[in-house]
Structures are given as C-alpha cells and as structure tokens.
Amino acid sequence: MTEVTWKELSQVAALGAQYDSPERQPHPKCLEGTRVDLRKFIRELLDKREKSQIIWLHGTAGVGKSAVAFTVAEEMKGLMISETTKIETRLAGTFFFSRNHTQRSTSGHFFVTLAYQLGINFPSVKSEVSKAIRENPAVLGSSQSLRAQMIALFRRPLWHLQSSLRECPPPVFVVDALDECQPETVADLISLLGEVLRDPELPVFHILLTSRLEEHIRKAIQKEDMRTLVYEIPVNTSGEGVAGTISLDGEEGRDLGLGWARLIWARLGPAQGLKPSRAHH
C-alpha cells in the first residue's frame, strides 16, 4: 500500500524542482575556490542548533544566487547527520522555482514536492507521509489549501523526525528563486514556513532561501512575526569579490566589500557564535 501511495505522490510532485533535476541542466554551480567565504559563512549559520531559521540570500539577477543554492544543496547532500542515526544526508529537500515551468512557478506543488523528498532522504518518514495521503487522498490535489498540505505533508513528517534528530546537526531545505513564484502566493507560503519554524514540537531545521529583493517578498519576510526567524544576507555583486551587507541584530547594513567576512568573524566572539539577525528595513 505504501508503494502505491508513493507512486501517486511521485506523479504529483514537481520533480523538476529538485536541485539536481535534469530539467535544470546545466546546473549553475560555484567553481572550486570561488565564493569560499560566503559559503563558509552560510555553513556556520546552517550548523547552528539553537533554533530553526531562514537564511535569506538576496540580490539582483546575475550575482550567483542559484549557483550558491545549488552548491550548498550539493554539500548538504553529502553530509551524514550522524553515525548514530544512520541518516545519510543533511539535505531534507529542495525546491528551485522557475517561472518558465508550470509546476515550479507556483506554491501549489511546494509541500507535495518537499514531502516526496523527505521520504526519499529520511526513509523513516516515508510511511508517515503515505499514511497522511491515505487518510486524505485529496491532500495531493489543488482543492486542498496550502495550509492543509503543510500540516499533513510537511509538519507531520518533521514531527516524526523529532526523536531521531535530537542532538544532531539540523537538516536543511534549500529554496531557490522565490521571486519566480507567482507573487500572489508568496505571502501565504512565507507565513506557513514561519509557522513551522516557530513550532516548538519540531526538530530544529534551517531553510536557505534565495530571491531577488522584490517588494512583495520583502514585505512578507519583514512582518513582525517573521523578523526573528530570518537571517538576511544581501549580495550586491558577482564574482569572488563578494560585496554585500549583512544584517546583524537589526543594525542597518553597510557595504563591506572584500572585508565583510572578516567583520562577521570578528563579531562571532570566542564562544557565543553568530547572533540571529532581523531583516532590516
């Protein structure tokens, strides 16, 4: 029964939204020796276990956001969460939006697709996802609200992972090019992600989110109930010389040029690590 249900899910999921999908070839990727400081900084944030968070990387077209997203996803895919759990990857799921593909240009397939990947990457939740679908087969269809899909196909599997992920590095989701999602659906999607991130009954997990800095995305992310969940990394130029502004503790960003990473590390301190920041105005 599980395999039958899983086949149904695979037919509905936007498999082309996965980071390594053939549909996305050639895959943008950071070349060896490039974006080293930025990737190291993102990795530090993704390793933090205190609370779940969105790491929001934004910038104009052509600055390499998708290349960073792909490279981070690839790195997380190759990391085992722990020898004890035998979970073979930290990559929980990916969704790379694209306005040129129907399934990838809307949030309607978002949670369905992540549920499919959760079952593949964390086999222990496969039966839980299948059970949710058997209980309500309509959850895979467009007649269901995004919230209903989130609860059944995203929150429920994550809750099932709570005990096995205790004391482990957080699993990571990578969501690329949110600006290519239909604008009218973005606010609801971000709000639902915030709801899951705040849920104390779920394991700590992180979302690397990339987008252009568009007004509807900025407004959704800068709502009062989202600010403490978001660490903002604006990137203003492409190439190895990353000129960016980093929002620290809600301070107004500054153009840090090549020295931005050194300033960040200086702010780390010997014991406390990076402090969560709020998206600045």
| Weakest-pLDDT range from 99-113, 170-184, 240-254 | 240-254
pLDDT digits 0-9 by tens, 44-98: 999 999 999 999 999 998 888 999 999 999 999 988 776 565 667 899 999 999 9
Residue 57 domain-assigned (yes or no) = yes
Tokens of 270: 């010997």
Confidence at residue 242, expressed as pLDDT on a 0 to 100 scale: 39
pLDDT at 120 over 70: yes
Residue 64 domain-assigned (yes or no) = yes
Residue 278 domain-assigned (yes or no) = no
Say how far apart CA 191 and CA 10 lie, in whole Å: 26
Q: How far is CA 268 from CA 52, 265, 273, in A?
A: 19, 5, 5
Residue 274 domain-assigned (yes or no) = no
Say how far apart CA 230 and CA 219 lie, in whole Å: 13
CATH of the domain at 241: 3.40.50.300
Residue 273 domain-assigned (yes or no) = no
Confidence at residue 133, expressed as pLDDT on a 0 to 100 scale: 94
How many domains are contained in the chain? 1
Q: Give which of 29, 8, 30, 224 is closest to 132, Cα–Cα.
A: 8
Range of the domain at 36: 2-268
CB count within 10 Å of CB 117 equals 20
Residue 279 domain-assigned (yes or no) = no
